[in-house]
């Protein structure tokens, strides 16, 4: 895909909610999927390293980012698996730690969206990948370290049973993210969503399918309240 050329930008009317951080403790992010290349070019040109405005870009596909001019790409920390980018991060917080747990590495695109969002927000976190309950020991041997955290994010596709199991093993605030990983009957994450919503574990909060960003923001609210 050729690099985007600067031209008549059709989205100069884009307005950012810069006061959101003051209101809710979370800054605005840019959801890139579906936006015209010209709009993304304009936004990325504004908020790179040195801009003084930390902005997180989510669902920024690698071919789209690669289409941007080199001088723009060079101002961003880009992570291809999670499809996230930021030029600047928020200052690191001196409190709070979040565990991000995945059932399998196939859930990585969601797991790392959550982890990268936490990194951008300046929140300490640890990623525990491949903890699916088909081999329960993979989870139990890490349980002590997980329970030392202040909030827990669980990412799982297929039957998403990890959310219920983890919900019965931790007293910490828990946010489940159903992923779209799985064969036909998994229905692009709908089976995982139904499973999590039907969990017998009380007090587990559930995000939308593949919404690692939302889970990280939910965990950030917990950390901000500490």
The verdict on 143 and 82 lying in the same domain is no
From 132, 95, 98, 103, select the one nearest 116 (Cα to Cα).
98
The verdict on 159 and 65 lying in the same domain is no
Return the higher-pLDDT residue of 226 and 100: 100
Residue 7 lies in a domain: no
Question: Reduced to 3 states, what is the DSSP secondary structure of residue 134?
Answer: helix
Return the higher-pLDDT residue of 8 and 180: 180
pTM for this entry:
0.89
Question: Which ranges in the chain belong to alpha helices (H)?
Answer: 20-24, 37-46, 62-66, 70-73, 108-120, 137-140, 143-147, 161-167, 190-197, 212-224
Supply the pLDDT for residue 177.
98
pLDDT, tens digit (0-9, with 9 covering 90-100), for 151-167: 999 999 999 999 999 99
Q: How many Å apart are CA 98 and CA 123, to the nearest integer?
A: 8
Length of the chain: 226
pLDDT, tens digit (0-9, with 9 covering 90-100), for 182-199: 999 999 999 999 999 999
Question: Reduced to 3 states, what is the DSSP secondary structure of residue 143?
Answer: helix
Report phi then psi at 205, rounded to 5. -90, 135
Q: Hey, which residues does 30 pair with through a beta bridge?
A: 57
Return the higher-pLDDT residue of 71 and 17: 71
For the stretch 172-198, what's the b/e string if a residue is b when 16 or more beta carbons lie within 10 angstroms of its beta carbon?
bbbbbbbbbbbeeebebbebbbebbee
Supply the pLDDT for residue 13.
57
On average, the pLDDT of the chain sits at: 90
Per the structure, the complete domain to which residue 32 belongs is given by 20-86
Q: ∠ CA(42), CA(44), CA(48), 5° rounding?
A: 135
pLDDT, tens digit (0-9, with 9 covering 90-100), for 120-151: 999 999 999 998 888 889 999 999 999 999 99
Residue 122 lies in a domain: yes
Q: Which helix (H) or strand (E) holds 58?
A: strand 56-58
The verdict on 64 and 106 lying in the same domain is no
Mean pLDDT on 94-115: 96
CATH number, residue 101: 3.40.50.1970
Residue 9 has pLDDT above 50, yes or no: no
Find the range with the poorest average confidence among 11-15, 37-41, 109-113, 186-190: 11-15
The verdict on 127 and 80 lying in the same domain is no
Residue 54 lies in a domain: yes
Residue 15 lies in a domain: no
pLDDT, tens digit (0-9, with 9 covering 90-100), for 19-71: 676 677 788 889 999 999 999 999 999 999 988 889 999 999 999 999 999 99
| All residues at 6 or more sequence positions from 161 whose CB lies less than 8 Å from its CB, including other chains | 133, 195
Residue 13 lies in a domain: no
Domain boundary among 37, 54, 86: 86
């Amino acid at each position: 895909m050729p690099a985007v050329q600067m031209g008549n930008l059709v989205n100069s009317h884009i307005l950012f909610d810069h006061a959101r951080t003051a209101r809710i403790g979370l800054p605005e992010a840019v959801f890139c999927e579906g936006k015209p290349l010209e709009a993304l070019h304009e936004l990325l040109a504004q908020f790179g390293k040195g801009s003084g405005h930390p902005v997180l870009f989510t669902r920024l596909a690698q071919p789209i980012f690669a289409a941007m001019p080199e001088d723009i790409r060079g101002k961003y920390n880009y992570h291809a698996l999670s499809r996230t980018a930021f030029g600047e991060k928020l200052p690191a917080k001196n409190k709070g730690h979040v565990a991000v747990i995945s059932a399998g590495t196939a859930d990585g695109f969601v797991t790392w969206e959550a982890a990268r969002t936490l990194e951008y927000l300046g929140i300490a976190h640890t990623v525990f990948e491949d903890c699916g309950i088909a081999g329960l020991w993979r989870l139990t041997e890490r349980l002590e370290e997980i329970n030392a955290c202040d909030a827990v994010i669980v990412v799982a596709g297929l039957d998403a049973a990890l959310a219920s199991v983890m919900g019965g093993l931790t007293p910490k605030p828990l946010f489940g993210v159903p992923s779209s990983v799985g064969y036909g009957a998994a229905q692009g994450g709908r089976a995982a969503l139904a499973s999590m919503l039907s969990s017998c574990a009380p007090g587990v909060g559930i995000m939308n399918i593949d919404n690692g960003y939302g889970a990280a923001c939910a965990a950030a609210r917990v950390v901000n309240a500490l």
